[in-house]
Amino acid sequence: MCQLLGMNCATPTDITFSFRGFSQRAGITSDHSDGFGIAFFEDKACRLFVDNQSAVESPIAELIRNYPIKSRNVIAHIRKATQGKINLENSHPFSRELWGRQWIFAHNGDLHDFHPRLSGRFTPVGNTDSERAFCYLLDQLVNHFGYDEPSLTQIFDLLAEISPKIAEHGTFNFCLSNGQALFSYAVTKLHWLVRAYPFQPAQLIDLDVEVDFSQVTTAEDCVAVITTEPLTQNETWTAFQPGEMILFQHGRPIKTQMTHIARLERERLNPELRRITKADQY
Amino acid sequence: MCQLLGMNCATPTDITFSFRGFSQRAGITSDHSDGFGIAFFEDKACRLFVDNQSAVESPIAELIRNYPIKSRNVIAHIRKATQGKINLENSHPFSRELWGRQWIFAHNGDLHDFHPRLSGRFTPVGNTDSERAFCYLLDQLVNHFGYDEPSLTQIFDLLAEISPKIAEHGTFNFCLSNGQALFSYAVTKLHWLVRAYPFQPAQLIDLDVEVDFSQVTTAEDCVAVITTEPLTQNETWTAFQPGEMILFQHGRPIKTQMTHIARLERERLNPELRRITKADQY
């Protein structure tokens, strides 16, 4: 499996503190060492760095830890391969252009027997279930809205309709951004917090590093961090509920919705089902 | 304006030697210091590094000079801004997915009054004439071939039909790759060479660096380098003819075609026209 890290901010912010802790999990505090990737939006465009080396060993990850790229929307991913080879075309995050914006997607989980019909408008480059899900989501957006860009709320509503159907095929936790906002969805595991004025010190879990955010921020700063497992030990992280979708903008959750995943209900009524599917391996 | 660097190889090869010389032109031997970008294909996927700092000063360019990423198709670009702000969304090379492959495009030149009708399938993220031309080329490929991937020859033939029409709007020198091969086109200035067995030493023009390729290659290696201005002083570079399109695969030119650009003919007959258009500013 994999781990996800997302950041959505009111003002361009660098992610070096969170990424330092997160990247420890690529071989030191955990074994997510089959490549990594990170995307930084600047308005509608984005920079995507990927490497098939681990985020501990990769010179590209070392650059990211030391070169503070400021961004309002960031999505990072460290991989422990379960489906697809360890090569560039299977590295998250994935990117596509739609409505004159780059879209970035990273997924945590496994999908089984997920082979939706795609129009050809978005075609997977690699062979992961994750990129297939991303292409399917974007295909559905175009099918529904055509080439007129809808509002964030309209996009959120459609994603909240489609995502639980994909989650019928397995574990589907994701972060998705178009540079305006960050859409996040969890079936099994995702956590979030908001850092805002008055800022406090934060202490990483994976590395003996503390930052006093009150010393490096202004009152306008506001940062939402979304991650598979909490990154700090002295802050309060909120767990996503199974099936919860949250839209973050300007560093805060602005819309949440609980979606109904029929598979989870069936598994609750019959726990035996849960053991015989591989969907919730984690 | 800008400068282009492309590389097409028989076996995965690193571009550190050529990029060291090329990136000197981003502030030291020339003034192309308004950002840089470089894309490395690995099969159908690619890594794209861009920065709005110059290739001399950027920590990302420093990484590229020192981290030998091996690739069969590379496209790099250093920018001297003439149209569009110096920001990420206007940085070459540009990328899009088509037929399950990434496509990478970088342009040298200025296009005037070039506002083609686009279907929405590919929409510019930034506001350069270059990205507009890239979207138009891909749009035309989809219009013509639909979602069934054509052969390289079919793509070449269509590009050779469309490119001279775009060149009616100004200077249109480009490198384009889908990871299988590299398409290149020149109206005013582009040079190429092939390095193959028996390899020789090469001496950069922009930096006092020499590499003896016979010491670092095997008989299977074969590398085509395409660049705006020759990079080495002791090798023979061939200049593209005005309107020439060349397809490079496995490190060699495999198809060339002369296209007819009516504008160039008009300018030849009436040199006054050439002075009053800005198209050939270089």
- What would the pLDDT profile of B257-267 be if each residue is shown by its tens digit? 999 999 898 88
Both tokens of B136, joined, read 């138009």
pLDDT at position B235, please?
96
Active site residues of B: 2
pLDDT at position B84, please?
64
pLDDT at position B13, please?
93
DSSP state of A235: S
Interface A–B counts its CB contacts (< 8 A) at 83
Q: Are A147 and A111 a contacting pair, CB within 8 Å?
A: no
Q: Distance between CA atoms of A206 and A218, rounded to whole angstroms?
A: 27
Q: Distance between CA atoms of B179 and B40, rounded to whole angstroms?
A: 9
Q: Do A120 and B146 touch (CB under 8 A)?
A: yes
The per-residue pLDDT for range B181-190, each reduced to its tens digit, is: 999 999 999 9
Cross-strand pairs, A101: A98
pLDDT at position A192, please?
98
Q: Distance between CA atoms of B250 and A42, rounded to whole angstroms?
A: 36
pLDDT at position A278, please?
47
DSSP state of A199: P
Q: Are A168 and A114 a contacting pair, CB within 8 Å?
A: no
The answer on pLDDT for B279 being more than 70 is no
Active site residues of A: 2
Question: What number is the average pLDDT over the span A41-57?
Answer: 91
Q: Distance between CA atoms of A72 and A121, rounded to whole angstroms?
A: 28
The per-residue pLDDT for range A94-139, each reduced to its tens digit, is: 999 999 999 999 999 999 999 999 999 999 999 999 999 999 999 9
Q: Which residue of A has its CA nearest to B127?
A: A100
Across chain B, mean pLDDT equals: 92
Q: How far is CA A90 from CA A169, B45, B47, in A?
A: 19, 9, 12
Residue A63, SS3 per DSSP? helix
Amino acid at A190: L
Domains plus CATH for chain A?
A: 2-276 (3.60.20.10)
The per-residue pLDDT for range A204-261, each reduced to its tens digit, is: 999 999 999 999 999 999 999 999 999 999 999 999 999 999 999 999 999 999 999 9
- Selected residue of B42, B130, B138, B148 to mutate for chain A interface (largest A Cβ count, 10 A): B42
Amino acid at B244: E
Q: Do B48 and A43 touch (CB under 8 A)?
A: no
Q: Which residues of B make CB contacts under 8 Å with A?
A: 42-50, 59-60, 63, 66-67, 87-89, 91, 95-102, 119-126, 146-147
For residue A282, what pLDDT band results from cuts at 50, 70 and 90? very low
Is the model more confident about A267 or about B173? B173
Shortest Cα–Cα distance, B76 to chain A (Å): 15
Of B45, B63, B119, nearest to A89 by CB-CB distance is B45
- Selected residue of A14, A16, A41, A42 to mutate for chain B interface (largest B Cβ count, 10 A): A42
For residue A275, what pLDDT band results from cuts at 50, 70 and 90? low
pLDDT at position A83, please?
64
Which among B227, B172, B216 is positioned nearest to B194, based on CA atoms?
Answer: B227
Q: Do A45 and B88 touch (CB under 8 A)?
A: yes
Q: According to the 3-state scheme, what is the secondary structure of chain B? A: CEEEEEEEEEEEECCHHHHHHHHCCECCCCECCCCEEEEEEECCEEEEEEECCCCCCCHHHHHHHHCCCCEEEEEEEEECCCCCCCCHHHCCCEEEEECCEEEEEEEECCECCCCCCCCCCCCCCCCCHHHHHHHHHHHHHHHHHCCCCCCHHHHHHHHHHHHHHHHCCECCEEEEECCCCEEEEECCCCEEEEEECCCCEEEECCCCCEEEHHHCCCCCCEEEEEECCCCECCCCCEECCCCEEEEEECCEEEEEEECCCHHHHHHHHCHHHHHHCCCCCC
Q: How many helices (H) and strands (E) does chain A have?
A: 6, 15
Amino acid at A129: D
Q: Are A32 and A57 a contacting pair, CB within 8 Å?
A: no
pLDDT at position A281, please?
39
Across chain A, mean pLDDT equals: 92
Shortest Cα–Cα distance, B37 to chain A (Å): 11
Q: Are A204 and A231 a contacting pair, CB within 8 Å?
A: yes
- Selected residue of A16, A47, A147 to mutate for chain B interface (largest B Cβ count, 10 A): A47
The per-residue pLDDT for range A54-100, each reduced to its tens digit, is: 888 899 999 988 888 999 999 999 988 766 677 889 999 999 999 99
First to last CA, chain A: 7
Chain A CB contacts of B89 under 8 Å are 42-45
Chain B CB contacts of A146 under 8 Å are 120
Q: Distance between CA atoms of B229 and A117, rounded to whole angstroms?
A: 47
For residue B48, what pLDDT band results from cuts at 50, 70 and 90? very high
Question: What number is the average pLDDT over the span B144-159?
Answer: 97
Which of A83-97, B41-55, B243-257, B260-274 has the highest average model confidence (pLDDT)?
A: B243-257
Residue A149, SS3 per DSSP? coil
Residue A147, SS3 per DSSP? coil
Of B46, B47, B96, nearest to A97 by CB-CB distance is B96
Q: Do A91 and B146 touch (CB under 8 A)?
A: no
pLDDT at position B83, please?
64
Is the model more confident about A169 or about A28? A169
The answer on pLDDT for B272 being more than 80 is no
Of B87, B98, B119, nearest to A42 by CB-CB distance is B87
Question: What number is the average pLDDT over the span A187-203?
Answer: 96
For residue A274, what pLDDT band results from cuts at 50, 70 and 90? low
